[in-house]
Structure 1
Amino acid sequence: MTISVLLADDQHLVRAGFRSLLRRGRDITVVGEASTGDEAVRAARTLRPDVILMDIRMPGMDGITATRQILGFHPAKIIILTTFETDEYVFAALAAGASGFLTKEIDPDGLRNAVRVVAAGDALLSPSVTRRVVGEFAHRPVAAAASPGGDRLAVLTEREREVVRLVATGLSNDDIARELVISPLTAKTHVTRAIAKLGVRDRVQLVIVAFQDGLVGN
């Protein structure tokens, strides 16, 4: 399956660089580019890409607003691009529904892998970067389905709670499988069920719930 990608960044050289790197992946196709948030929304409506690489700071509509608008009509996986790991706007981007974020210094293999990861339904949860962002973001409101008793995690089995805890520490499905001595497919199944039971969008939101409900410490 070919993954279609839309590039949204106000710097032509950045878009050109990402386009060149992504085209080296035989399973990835860049279907369009945008230099503003408004252009990104229009392109997403027309092209319906699988993944969008979205810059935060662009003229006119910013990447956060564009992310929110796009996800209102198209279930794309959106990766936020930022220059600084501690960019405050990343928090708002996650709330808007972004599947993760990357710094623009990412290496070529990392960029292509990131596109494949979110296209497969996972989220970018790098232990060294995203966990810090999510840890801070956990103190902020998030749309999640609360259980009648007030403990959202009560709907999970003991094994699912353990898997969610490991996800929140930044482990991948393969890492979780090794930790719990189960198959990667079983680990993925537990993650998928936890996401469904908690009524959250993806792994990022799953981690936020884990922090908010005290399953892991900040």
Structure 2
Amino acid sequence: MSIKVVICDDDSLIRESLKILIPLKGDIEIVGEASNGQECIDICKSKEVDVALVDIRMPEVNGVEAVKEITKRTNTKCLVLTTFDEEDYINEAISYGAKGYILKNNSPEQIANSIVSVYNNTIVMNENILGKIQGKTSEPKISKYDFTDREIDIIKAISEGLSNKEISKKLYISEGTIRNYITGILDKTGLEHRTAIAVNYLKGNL
């Protein structure tokens, strides 16, 4: 089954290029395109979309606000694809639930691979992007919390991009127990979602 993708970018040339090139690099189907964040939100609400590929700076509704609304109102996973690597954009997009943040200088094959990774619940970021993540996703420092061995196992598994079902198989515990552990980890750290847990771990805060 193809991964259903919507492309959101205010540059029509980029949209057309991605529509042609990305499906050649993987089992990906482009099911829609948008020139601004509001159009992307509307598509994700009206169609079955697995991954939204979203630019940041766009008219009407920007990419950060689009990510916020799409994550809140749909099951679509958002992957930011942009030329801008400013810390504010990165931190806001991640805090609102973006599953990845990559730059447009990646090859079509790398972009396609990132789409597949996000679809499979793996967080994707360019190395230079990861180094700029700070603020809400890295505070408080979760290394100061006294995690149990099992909680650390869960954190590591989340950082590998594993779903609760996959963690269940790996650690031989029920999905309900895993959800309870994740709730406990979020309560201890003050973080808001599993993406923030993974980012903190990948930054070496554990």
Deviation at 1:134, TM superposition (A): 2.8
Matched, 1:198 2:197: no
Aligned to 1:33: 33
**1:151-172 residue CA offsets vs partner (Å, 9 max, x unmatched):** 9955x5426526746977xxx5
Give the paired residue count.
Answer: 190
User: What are the equivalent positions in structure 2 for 1:59-78 lying under 5 Å apart?
Assistant: 59-78=59-78
Conserved? CA contact 1:51–1:79, under 8 Å? yes
For residues 1-218 of structure 1, the aligned pairs below 5 Å read: 1-126=1-126, 128-139=127-138, 154=146, 157-158=148-149, 160-161=151-152, 164=155, 172=160, 186=170, 193=178, 195=182, 198-199=185-186, 201-202=193-194, 204-210=195-201, 216=205
Measure the CA separation in 2 of the matches of 1:4 and 1:152: 41
The one-letter code of the counterpart of 1:131 is L
Following superposition, the deviation at residue 66 of structure 1 comes to 1.2
How far apart are 1:65 and its partner, in Å?
A: 1.0
RMSD: 3.6
SS of the aligned residue for 2:132 comes to helix
Structure 1 residues 195, 106: CA separation in 2 closer, same or farther (over 3 Å shift)?
farther
Identify which range, 5-14 or 22-31, moves more after superposition. 22-31
Gaps of 5+ in 1: 142-149, 175-184
The two structures have a TM-score, normalised by structure 1, of: 0.71
Report the Cα distance in structure 1 between the residues aligned to 2:43 and 2:23, rounded to whole angstroms.
19
Asked if 1 retains the 8 angstrom alpha-carbon contact of 2:51 and 2:76, the reply is yes
Q: Could you state the TM-score of these two structures normalised by the residue count of structure 2?
A: 0.75
State the shift of 1:196 in Å: 6.1
Moved over 2 A (4+): 84-88, 133-141, 150-154, 162-168, 192-202, 207-212
Change (3 A) 1:173 1:79: closer
Counterparts of 1:113 and 1:74, CA distance in 2: 23
Determine if contact 2:91/2:134 at 8 Å carries over to the other structure.
no
Q: Gaps (5+ residues) in structure 2?
A: 163-168, 187-191
